Structure 1
Amino acid sequence: MTGELFPRERTEAAPGAVHVPDWLDPGRQRELVAACRAWARPPAGLRTVRLPGGGTMTARQVCLGWHWYPYGYARTVVDGDGAPVKPLPAWLAEWAREAVREAYGDAAPGEAAPHDAYDEAAPHDAYDYDIALINFYDSDARMGMHRDSDEKSDAPVVSFSLGDTCVFRFGNTETRTRPYTDVELRSGDLMVFGGPSRLAYHGVPKVHADTAPPELGLTGRLNITLRVSGLT
């Protein structure tokens, strides 16, 4: 949104859970939207995720690096067309490391960080991001409260938002219910959660239709979530 009286401030939804507004500039947003359109094409393209109980996720998904299915990872689309999963590009993994440095500086997740500067050799640079889950939400899509717990690594989760604004509900590590904090995520926003919040429940209860920046040419919301698998 433009023309606001005050800039949006970075906030911490919980210890180690950092929201950085407008982290992706318009150029990077357009680059990422174009890449998502290419990744969504078959084979190993955008699919509807079917849950073990017989239901389906309302957000559609494509994976890079490792293919996520409920509740594990594979190198092929085992619950779809069986094709090998598309590779995670090195530039996107580097964006994830940049995002972690932005969120935490050279401190550990959940500790106070000097956000105006960081050490280029900070330990966050060693994170080997090798998974991207790309979820596409239309205006009716939602994501229930869940934890990102299928990885063997405790490296922070990095989340980029593109397109329509959403309500991102960030909870606690014990229950899907309160206490939780609702964060408004707009196109270009960054969310990083690690340390004591790495296994917190989170979800998307609402997408605000027709709020995407017109120059993106995107109807709906894209969320790109990057993780370190810890798998071999």
Structure 2
Amino acid sequence: MECKKCGSVAVERHSKFVRSCHWGIVVTGIITALSGMQLSKLFGFTLFDDAYALHIRMSFVFAGLWTLFMYFSIAEEWKWIKPSRIPYSIKFVLEEAVAWIKGGHVGDPRAYDPRRREYVEKIIPSQVLVFWTYVLLTAIIGITGLAMLYPEYFGPVYSAAEKMGLLFGTDNSYAFIRGLHRLTMFLYATVMIMHAYAATIFGTLSSMISGYRREKVVSDSGRGSREPADG
């Protein structure tokens, strides 16, 4: 129902499928990270009796959920996160950084047209960068993890790792792959924390729980974002 006074309308932003995948990724990602850190003895803690078996199982569940989430993103949200929007996203991030230093914020481009029953802009532009960063890190951590688990099937990965390892002073391809796997995990955790912070600041965290969010209403005359999603 539209709120005339406040100029907003309640919209189902995230379906049950998306919310289920999202929180499944969060939970399995945390368990996978903790079990991996226990295996690596990075912080000297012990949470699980069989961290290795749990790490492997959760990794495959995590990958399955990510596959489902990617399918939805490509099928339903492509116009908002497609690579051609990355320059727009970078410009937005730079403008937001400058505004933050000055003690303000850039205008929120998200808006909904209730007459057409569609978004004019659904996401904060910086989410485009976040999405593709997740894709890149997931690919790296997945390939390195599978290479360590099934080395007999990943000869080319070990060959590339051996050559790249020489740049860092090691000819041990397995050690390089393991180190890259760990580094990617820390980068992943960093992006997740930043993502959670941004979701809180921009008011999207609650919608990932309930599915709904009050979106700014625009008329046909005010239609359009700073960068059209389909342009």
TM-score band, normalised by the shorter chain? Answer: under 0.3
Please give the TM-score of this superposition, normalised by the length of structure 2. 0.26
Please give the TM-score of this superposition, normalised by the length of structure 1. 0.26
Q: Highest relative contact order (Cα 8 Å, sep 6+), 1 or 2?
A: 2
Specify which structure has the higher proportion of strand.
1
